[in-house]
Structure 1
Amino acid sequence: MKTIISYIKPELKRMIWGLSIKFVGTIMDLCIPWILAYMIDNIISKRDIKQIYLWGLLMVVCATIGVFANVYANRNAAAVGRDVTCNLRYDLYKKINTLSSSQIDYFTVPSLISRLTTDTNNIHRTICIMQRLGVRAPILLIGGIMITLTLDPVLTFILILIMPFIAFFISFISKRGVSLYMSLQKSIDSLVRVIRENITGVKVIKAFSKADYERERFYRVNKDVSEKDTTASMVMSLNQPIVNILFNLGLVLVVVVGAYRVEKGAIQVGVIVAFLSYFTIILTAMKSVTKLFIMYFKAEASAIRVSEILEVEKDLDIEDVDMGKTNLKNSCKSEYHIQFKNVAFSYNKKSDAIKNISFEIKTGDSLGIIGPIGSGKSTIILLLMGFYKIDEGEILINGVNIDDMNKAELRNMFGVVFQNDYLFSKSIYENIDLGRNLPDEEIKKAAISAQAMDFIDQSEYGFQKIISQKGNNLSGGQKQRVLLARAFAGNPEILLLDDASSALDFKTDMRLRESILENYKATTKIIIDSRINSIKKCSKIMVLDGGQIVGYGDHEELLKSCPMYFEINEIQNGDL
């Protein structure tokens, strides 16, 4: 909660001003029943029309001031809530972008989406309602009790007598609020995950006729959310009926005792009328207080979840520039451009994804990586780019450990195509440039090198053709060529291609390899592929199996020394 409060502090002046206006409006509302009681007991009995009009006008003035003051205060509260939540959501989004891959794996993407949307919305609603009711309800409650004391202490004592019972039940019921709403938010995380999977994989679901199965899976998680929401709402909603019962019992006692005191001449009829009005005001205020409790506990659960993200320590310095890190431009030169020295890494810290990985690549050379699924091929480039911290060993670029480098500068060295890469719903040009403001010549050169100009020229919009989200209006080969053009653009120092040509036909793939060799001779290249023909011309080839190197050398050497490589080659070239 301290983190969330830090976002509210800059808005304190506006909040105090709005709350002051709200205070004035609430006082005006409290004055109306008192004026009515005074008129009944002291003005109407005199039958003085001028006095009746005068005090009636005073009631109208109080009501008008109350209305305008409350409307203005509510608008101010909405503006404060909007600005606080806008800043909070922006910083939360910014922090999510700086989380390391391991931290994202820990929190999970559906949970991050839920925290960025549902949780911030809960906080927004609470900030707004706290300003609208957080001042008005207590003032009506306390002010109503204080005014009734001036009317008749005996009747007020009945009101005060039931307050401890109300406070006890509210406190008792609300204790479970945070835990219930925390559990609810976790279920919402699961719901978001299932929805994302269903929307993303809708073609697969339809292809395998699994719509009924997915509906059942969604029904289960949706039912879980519904049941937990119902449980939390039922528990918290017990506050209001209990308050109503206790207050209505008090109201009956007020009427009975008040009638008895009127009969004895201790009070006048106007006092009873005013007291009943104040009783209604106090009852409404108590209902508002119980609503505030429900909103507060719901927001507290959300605030805890949001604070977890905002307060998490940086695992990797994604964008800090002046952190005493090595400047890559001034780093020492080494015989090798890239070095892995006995590198070991585990995602779950139980079983190694890779272990004892050692290799060297000189500037301009290329390394091909091949191996079965799950052998750790993609892990190597993720570690090289610093997305995860290695458990053992060293990774060096130009003789400098990547842990000593600024990660923003480190990643500017790379042009990369990941195995499951992403295209944005922007133009082809914008997807290749990706906000780097590259010259048009470089964009075109990259597209030519990626063999993408044939389908770009065929479109009437050329580079300005809009790609739908995830590239759904492009074929698999066209997607990969746009992604390759993005990697080539900017003349990267190191090129990482992870299964980047799997959707290309053999002829296009061959032209692509020739283009890379011709246009990026000075670029160090790491190419992961399942086809030997795509990596056979690499300077060195590394064969992985079970996270370990089982073969290392050029194509001819591996055919003689590595049985696995020889077998793959025989199968793919049709000799078996």
Structure 2
Amino acid sequence: MKVVLGYLKPYTGRVAVGVTIKFTAAILELVLPLLLAAVIDDLVPARDLPAIWRTGALMGVLAFAAAACNITANRMAAWVSMEVTRELRRDLYRRVQALSCAQMDRFSASSMVSRLTNDTYNVHQMFDKVQRGGIRAPMLVLGGLVLTFLQQPVLALVQLAVSLLTFLTITLVTRQGIPFYTQAQQAVDTVVRILRENASGVRVIKALACQGRERERFETANHASRRAEEQAGWVMAMTNPITDFLLNTGLTLVVLVGALWVDAGRMQRGQIVAFLTYFTLIQSATLGIAKVFVRISKGAASARRIREILQAPLEQTVEPAEAEEVRPGILGMENATFSYLGVEPDLEQASFTLEKGQMLGILGPTGSGKTTLISLLLRLYDADGGVVWVGGKDVRTQERRELQTRFGVVFQGDTLIAGSVYENISFLRGLSREAVEAAARTAQAWEFIETLPQGLDTRVDLRGANLSGGQRQRLLIARALAGDPEILILDSADSALDYWTAAALRAALRRDLPGVTLVVISERVSSVREADRILVLESGRIDAQGSHRELLETCARYRQMAELQMGEGAV
């Protein structure tokens, strides 16, 4: 909570001004019942109409001034809350970007979405409600109690007892409600995760006629979320009935005792009217405090979830390069081992070296560790053992941005943004249209871009839904090429391309990017046969490595794959 509250520090002055205005409004509201009592007890019996009109006009001015002060303070509170939430969401997003992929896996993408949206909204509501009602309501309660004690201490004790019981009720209920709100937020994470999965896999769901099963899965998560919210709401819902009961009981006692005292001449009519007004005002303010506590309960639960991200330690720090040995080649590994879950290694004892300008082919079945190997080179994950280097230096000793700007990458399952073709290739890098066109030509994408209604300015739907699989892949390849990378990684980037287009792409890469180091991950022998070095992976280990000719002679698995895919004569 302290971490989130720290975002209020730059706006302390504005908050202080808002508190002062709220205090002024509360004072004005507390004066009104005194003036009303004076009118009833003094001016009406004296039939002093001019004084009654003057006092009434003064009451109108005070009421208008109190309303104006409250409106001004509320607008200031809303502005501060929006600015604080904007900065909090900005820093939270930046922190998410700085987390390692391993940390992202632990938190989960759906939880990140929920924290960036729902949790920050709850914090915004908490700040806003506290500034609006959290200042005014306690002032009205304290001021009202002081004034009622000055008028009738005995009746004021009734009001004090009711207020104390109300505060006790609010405290106990809030303490019980916070854990339920935490559970409710976790249930929302599950709902968001299922929605993300359905949105990204809608075509597969429809193709396999799984709509019914997905509806049931969503309904289950939705019901769980509803139950969690219901439990939290059930606990917090006890606040208003109990406080209403206390209010009505207190009012009954005040009216009963007050009527007897007025009849006995121990209290004036105006005093009892003023006292009842203060009693109602105090209890209304107390109910306002209850609502503030509900917001604080939700906000505190969300603030803790946000704090988990903001205070998560950065696992991938830059290590000092003390007398570091310059490694051979532009990239490579030595006995690199890695496990996602820490149980069995997903990549074990991987070693290879690639020189600048050469081509590396990575071949292997699904789950053999091909993408894992690339993730270690990009330092998306850190190896559990061994050394991984790029540019002759251990990746752990390089700044993330310095390291990753050397690469152009097309990941398996990459996605396109909702925007124009140009925006998808430039990808917020401000590249010239000439550079984008050149990259599209090399990626074999220009031939279909030219046929689009507006060329580079044609709109692309989210995830490229209005494009074919081959067109999407070529745009992704063009995006990777447009940044003029030193090392280009293509992870199954030709899986949706026909053999003729894939061959044309490989020829264009050799022609247009002669000095670029190329890493190609594929399940097609034809895609890697021209590589200077080919790694054959099997169950997380490099089973063999060498050139196409060398592997045909020394690796039975590679030779079998080549014969199956290309025919014995083509090998």
TM-score range, shorter chain: over 0.9
C-alpha displacement at 1:304, in angstroms?
A: 0.7
Distance 1:325 1:512, change over 3 A: farther
Cα-to-partner distance string for 1:358-410 (whole Å, 9 max, x where unaligned): 01111111111111111100011111011111100001223211111111111
Cα-to-partner distance string for 1:259-280 (whole Å, 9 max, x where unaligned): 2222222111211111111111
C-alpha displacement at 1:325, in angstroms?
A: 6.6
Distance 1:250 1:437, change over 3 A: closer
Q: Does the Cα contact within 8 Å between 1:343 and 1:391 map onto a contact in 2?
A: yes
Task: Tell me how far apart the structure 1 counterparts of residues 461 and 393 of structure 2 sit (CA, whole Å).
Answer: 41
Which residue does 2:259 correspond to in 1? 259
Which residue does 2:522 correspond to in 1? 529
Task: Tell me how far apart the structure 2 counterparts of residues 190 and 55 of structure 1 sit (CA, whole Å).
Answer: 60
Q: 1:138-153, aligned counterparts within 5 Å?
A: 138-153=138-153
Q: 1:435-514, aligned counterparts within 5 Å?
A: 435-514=428-507
Which residue does 2:249 correspond to in 1? 249
Which residue does 2:345 correspond to in 1? 352
Which residue does 1:555 correspond to in 2? 548
Task: Tell me how far apart the structure 1 counterparts of residues 534 and 239 of structure 2 sit (CA, whole Å).
Answer: 70
Task: Tell me how far apart the structure 2 counterparts of residues 263 and 436 of structure 1 sit (CA, whole Å).
Answer: 83
Task: Tell me how far apart the structure 1 counterparts of residues 172 and 18 of structure 2 sit (CA, whole Å).
Answer: 32
Task: Tell me how far apart the structure 2 counterparts of residues 236 and 181 of structure 1 sit (CA, whole Å).
Answer: 10
C-alpha displacement at 1:106, in angstroms?
A: 1.1
Which residue does 1:320 correspond to in 2? none
What letter is aligned with 1:271? Q
**What is the aligned length?**
568
Task: Tell me how far apart the structure 2 counterparts of residues 435 and 79 of structure 1 sit (CA, whole Å).
Answer: 30
Task: Tell me how far apart the structure 1 counterparts of residues 84 and 430 of structure 2 sit (CA, whole Å).
Answer: 33
C-alpha displacement at 1:575, in angstroms?
A: 5.6
Which residue does 1:546 correspond to in 2? 539
What letter is aligned with 1:351? E
Which residue does 2:105 correspond to in 1? 105
Which residue does 1:160 correspond to in 2? 160
What letter is aligned with 2:566? N
Cα-to-partner distance string for 1:115-145 (whole Å, 9 max, x where unaligned): 1111111111111111110111111111111
Residues 1:394 and 2:390 aligned together = no
C-alpha displacement at 1:429, in angstroms?
A: 1.9
- Structure 1 window deviating more from structure 2 (352-361 vs 90-99): it is 90-99
User: What SS class does the counterpart of residue 458 from structure 1 fall into?
Assistant: coil
What letter is aligned with 1:361? L
C-alpha displacement at 1:333, in angstroms?
A: 6.3
C-alpha displacement at 1:516, in angstroms?
A: 1.6
What letter is aligned with 1:187? A
Which residue does 1:90 correspond to in 2? 90
Distance 1:438 1:167, change over 3 A: closer
Identity between Structure 1 and Structure 2 (%) = 40
User: Structure 2 length as normaliser, TM-score?
Assistant: 0.96
Q: Does the Cα contact within 8 Å between 1:325 and 1:406 map onto a contact in 2?
A: no
Task: Tell me how far apart the structure 2 counterparts of residues 459 and 333 of structure 1 sit (CA, whole Å).
Answer: 49
Cα-to-partner distance string for 1:210-242 (whole Å, 9 max, x where unaligned): 212111111111111111101101101111111
Distance 1:341 1:335, change over 3 A: closer
Which residue does 1:3 correspond to in 2? 3
What letter is aligned with 1:278? Y
Residues 1:188 and 2:188 aligned together = yes
Q: Does the Cα contact within 8 Å between 2:328 and 2:353 map onto a contact in 1?
A: no
Q: Does the Cα contact within 8 Å between 2:452 and 2:458 map onto a contact in 1?
A: yes
User: What SS class does the counterpart of residue 528 from structure 1 fall into?
Assistant: strand
User: Structure 1 length as normaliser, TM-score?
Assistant: 0.95
CA RMSD of aligned residues (A): 1.8
User: What SS class does the counterpart of residue 175 from structure 1 fall into?
Assistant: helix
Task: Tell me how far apart the structure 2 counterparts of residues 512 and 325 of structure 1 sit (CA, whole Å).
Answer: 40
Task: Tell me how far apart the structure 2 counterparts of residues 506 and 140 of structure 1 sit (CA, whole Å).
Answer: 78
Which residue does 2:285 correspond to in 1? 285
Q: 1:312-331, aligned counterparts within 5 Å?
A: 312-316=312-316
What letter is aligned with 2:462? Q
Task: Tell me how far apart the structure 2 counterparts of residues 562 and 142 of structure 1 sit (CA, whole Å).
Answer: 86
Q: Does the Cα contact within 8 Å between 2:163 and 2:283 map onto a contact in 1?
A: no
Structure 1: any 5+ residue segments left out of the alignment? 318-322
Q: Does the Cα contact within 8 Å between 1:336 and 1:360 map onto a contact in 2?
A: yes
What letter is aligned with 1:545? E
C-alpha displacement at 1:167, in angstroms?
A: 2.8
Q: 1:126-141, aligned counterparts within 5 Å?
A: 126-141=126-141
Task: Tell me how far apart the structure 2 counterparts of residues 376 and 419 of structure 1 sit (CA, whole Å).
Answer: 13
C-alpha displacement at 1:70, in angstroms?
A: 0.9
Which residue does 2:561 correspond to in 1? 568
C-alpha displacement at 1:563, in angstroms?
A: 2.3
Task: Tell me how far apart the structure 2 counterparts of residues 14 and 310 of structure 1 sit (CA, whole Å).
Answer: 25
Residues 1:373 and 2:361 aligned together = no
C-alpha displacement at 1:299, in angstroms?
A: 0.2
User: What SS class does the counterpart of residue 176 from structure 1 fall into?
Assistant: helix
Q: Does the Cα contact within 8 Å between 2:319 and 2:396 map onto a contact in 1?
A: no
C-alpha displacement at 1:490, in angstroms?
A: 3.3
Task: Tell me how far apart the structure 2 counterparts of residues 490 and 196 of structure 1 sit (CA, whole Å).
Answer: 30
Q: Does the Cα contact within 8 Å between 2:163 and 2:286 map onto a contact in 1?
A: no
Task: Tell me how far apart the structure 1 counterparts of residues 71 and 436 of structure 2 sit (CA, whole Å).
Answer: 55
Which of 382, 393, 416 is the matching residue for 1:423? 416
What letter is aligned with 1:449? T
What letter is aligned with 1:18? G
Task: Tell me how far apart the structure 2 counterparts of residues 138 and 333 of structure 1 sit (CA, whole Å).
Answer: 67
